[in-house]
Copies of this chain bind each other. A is one copy, B any other.
Amino acid sequence: MVSMTSPKEGASRRARHRAQTTAEIKATALKHLVEGGTDAVALRGIARDMGMAPGTFYSYFDTREALLAALAADAYRALAAHLRTAREGAREPAGRALAHGLAYRAWALAHPQEFRLLFSGRSPHAQTPDSTEAEYELCLGIVEIAATARADAGSPYSWDDFDPAFTEVARAAFPDLTPATLARSLRLWGRLHGLVTLEIDGLLRPQITDPERLYRDELTDVAAWLTSTGT
């Protein structure tokens, strides 16, 4: 970079540098997260890895929690994107549910620590607007499956049974959404989440040699349930 820069470009160069360093901090933090879990994400360790003074961190994040929140938001977005891509590979609702479910497990197995950061241990890291939005993105993916699978017979759920903020977002995305379908989305999520969590936490692996097969069996039933009438 020999050429001189105009004032405006100069300012943006500082901003670009800032963005780069922020990204490097997050990348280093992620590396530690992957290797040792949330506890291994330590400011001093990150600073050490990057060859910078510990205090510098505070030019980029207010607090350790803020960094974790940023990591969580990134992970939510990555997972949501991964699932969306998987769904797009299938046309029929049943196939979409299957693809989504398999992708959910695959991502969790590939990124267990990030999965835990998102879902385990009451993670207070999901409190920023940023990460809440990313969480909604994830939920909407599940709602999409339930919403496109079939219409419901009138079910005794009402909109009052759900969080207004999330309901608003969901109804905006899927105008035909019913309360019953939203309830079914959550149950769908639970069915996917159960076996995946057990496997990630090592409670399935020792007892069954091929967890994927078990999971596929479950997904087959899930797809059947989603596309048939019933509760």
Contacts and interface: CB of A to CB of B under 8 A. Distances in A.
A121 B231 contact: no
Interface string A216-230: 011011000100001
A105 to B, nearest CB: 11
A51 interface: no
Given A186-B214, A208-B161, A195 B197 contact: no
A220 B37 CA distance: 37
Contacts of A189: 194, 198
Kindly report how many copies of this chain are found in the complex they form together. 2
A82 B139 CA distance: 33
A174 interface: no
A198 B191 CA distance: 10
Interface in A174-219: 183, 186-187, 189-195, 197-198, 200-204, 206-210, 213-214, 217-218
Interface residues of A, number: 47
A163 interface: yes
B201 A186 contact: no
Interface string A151-166: 0000000001111001
Given A123-B201, A193-B197, A207-B139, A187 B214 contact: yes
Given A112-B122, A166-B206, A193-B198, 9 more contacts: A119-B201, A120-B120, A120-B201, A160-B209, A183-B208, A186-B214, A190-B198, A190-B204, A197-B197
